[in-house]
Amino acid sequence: AKVDLFLKNRKLTRFVMPTRSYLSQVEKTLTFGLGDADEIDHISIHWPDGSEQNVVGLAIDKEHTIEQK
């Protein structure tokens, strides 16, 4: 999945790729460095099946678990 995180004046992008090669696994946690930002506008998740999900109201400095709807 592709995850875009929107702040006041910038967009940060990360990709979740749970596997990279034969018999490998990668942690599914994404980390975003927000710098001096004090809030997240929203995130947009582009799921592998082509659907898109927007999430608002996320607190900074917290871990969030988001599942596909």
Residue 64: pLDDT band with limits 50, 70, 90: very high
pLDDT for residue 38: 93
pLDDT for residue 67: 93
| pLDDT, tens only, 1-49 | 999 999 998 999 999 887 777 777 777 889 999 999 999 999 999 999 9
pLDDT for residue 26: 72
Pairwise CA distance, residues 32 & 61, whole Å: 10
Contacts of 19 (CB under 8 A, 6+ apart): 25, 26
Buried b (16+ CB within 10 A) or exposed e, 11-38: ebeeeeeeeeeeeeeeeeebeeeeeebe
Output the pTM of the full model: 0.85
